[in-house]
Chains A and B, each alone.
Chain A
């Protein structure tokens, strides 16, 4: 078990879910994978299919349209899976909180392991969050 946990820490594959964000948070997540920050050093890479995912990064305030899909994707992910709420929207709803279309924030729909506030959070903040998660695992 210990070996598996260590391996999990060393090869986190990200699945990125946009639940109605303004796209700024998504750009910052992609920033982490660029040559400047290069998360592949730590074995972190972006993958396209939820079945391969270890980490779900959710951005956006979770609109009424995306809420059932977010739930379904969480159920489709092979466990253990970690959920990160990225951006103020995902953490609390931020400026969209009073909106008629608000079904979130994320932790109302699925359990969340880490919150990254910021609008959008800097790549450094995202990396710091991942490091904190590492220590918690």
Chain B
């Protein structure tokens, strides 16, 4: 009973959805301010969702009906699960299980994989083009991402339990505070941008080029679910980084404000990167990730092994 409540209401689906909508509003508002516009009202994401759920749902002819309709739900439930895990860690660090770090890393790739499958199930050439780009992008960023996540694990002597990583940071220092941790953090921010599918790594769904990539055939409620998934990722992935690199959120008194500030800082970094960069071609993105970014990640791992 308690678990179902955790999954569906707090800190799972409902809570994450509301904060995710807020985060997406902040994203759009800051973008608008950067461009000297006024930007949408705060309830805009809710209007979008309600409107989309009231529209007709179309399944393209020749598409795989069941897969096409199921994939958004798979993506949504994966990201909800990640959020539930991370917030359980934050609220009560003792209740987590061994290896939940690995589970979270796995679950974070599921939205991308769902996107690839739904692109292939859409029976649309542009959608499959987007799906193949997404596949290449995953291959690109997943390697440096995991290498960089190794750094906190190495520094904390092989702990792979999120709660203990958090406790280690509270007794010693946060991981960004050390040299290797800082380098790993930069790598992870770049990978996060690709995970979120934002500029400069939004080649899979380039609006002006292949229309919307894997989303192109989606309409009505499934599209709403996908949008919601994206917005929730905008909340969950930075939260994950806050937990493993920045010491999480401390819920006693004023410290909670400091914790929220960490998240907002990451969000603003994401939005600013997205607004000040052009889109990379997919081959450039791959070269970027497998070249300099992986190099940095390996450097960070070596520094961590040396104890810096």
> A residues engaging B (CB < 8 A)?
3-4, 6-8, 10-11, 35, 38, 40-41, 43, 47-49, 51-52, 54, 76, 78-80
Taking the closest CB of chain A, its distance from the CB of B296, in whole angstroms, is 35
Is B178 interfacial (CB-CB < 8 Å)?
no
* Stretch in contact with the other chain, from B98-106, B179-187, B213-221, B287-295: B213-221
Whether A43 pairs with B55 at a CB distance below 8 angstroms is no
Q: 19 A-B residue contacts at CB 8 Å?
A: A7-B46, A11-B48, A35-B35, A35-B36, A40-B32, A40-B38, A43-B41, A43-B44, A47-B212, A49-B217, A51-B216, A51-B218, A52-B215, A52-B218, A54-B51, A78-B55, A78-B56, A79-B56, A80-B55
| B residues in contact with A4, CB < 8 Å | 50-51, 53-54
| A residues in contact with B216, CB < 8 Å | 48-49, 51
| B residues in contact with A43, CB < 8 Å | 40-41, 44, 47-48
| B residues in contact with A7, CB < 8 Å | 46-51, 54
Q: With A4-B54, A41-B39, A54-B51 given, is the CB distance from A78 to B32 under 8 Å?
A: no
| A residues in contact with B56, CB < 8 Å | 78-79
| B residues in contact with A49, CB < 8 Å | 211-212, 215-217
Taking the closest CB of chain A, its distance from the CB of B250, in whole angstroms, is 37
Whether B44 pairs with A79 at a CB distance below 8 angstroms is no
Is B208 interfacial (CB-CB < 8 Å)?
yes
Taking the closest CB of chain A, its distance from the CB of B210, in whole angstroms, is 9
> B residues engaging A (CB < 8 A)?
28, 32, 35-41, 43-44, 46-51, 53-58, 207-208, 211-212, 215-220, 223
Whether A78 pairs with B58 at a CB distance below 8 angstroms is yes
Taking the closest CB of chain B, its distance from the CB of A29, in whole angstroms, is 15
Contacts A7-B50, A38-B37, A41-B40 known; 13 new A-B pairs at CB < 8 A: A7-B47, A7-B51, A8-B54, A11-B51, A35-B36, A38-B39, A43-B40, A47-B212, A48-B211, A48-B212, A78-B55, A78-B57, A80-B55
| B residues in contact with A51, CB < 8 Å | 58, 216-219, 223
A-B pair number, CB within 8 angstroms: 82
- State in angstroms the CA–CA spacing of A78 and B54 once bound together: 10
Whether A3 pairs with B50 at a CB distance below 8 angstroms is yes
| B residues in contact with A80, CB < 8 Å | 55
B51 is contacted by which of A8, A35, A38, A47 (Cβ under 8 Å)?
Answer: A8
Give the most central of A8, A11, A35, A38: most B CB within 10 Å: A11
Give the most central of B35, B41, B51: most A CB within 10 Å: B51
- State in angstroms the CA–CA spacing of A3 and B28 once bound together: 23
Task: Give the residue name and chain of the A residue nearest to B206 (CB).
Answer: A48
Taking the closest CB of chain B, its distance from the CB of A50, in whole angstroms, is 9
Give the most central of A10, A52, A76, A79: most B CB within 10 Å: A52
Taking the closest CB of chain B, its distance from the CB of A130, in whole angstroms, is 15
| A residues in contact with B32, CB < 8 Å | 38, 40
Task: Give the residue name and chain of the A residue nearest to B53 (CB).
Answer: A4
Task: Give the residue name and chain of the B residue nearest to A4 (CB).
Answer: B54
- State in angstroms the CA–CA spacing of A92 and B212 once bound together: 33
Taking the closest CB of chain A, its distance from the CB of B231, in whole angstroms, is 14
Give the most central of A6, A11, A51: most B CB within 10 Å: A51
- State in angstroms the CA–CA spacing of A52 and B215 once bound together: 9
Whether A78 pairs with B219 at a CB distance below 8 angstroms is yes
- State in angstroms the CA–CA spacing of A80 and B219 once bound together: 12
A40 is contacted by which of B37, B53, B217, B218 (Cβ under 8 Å)?
Answer: B37
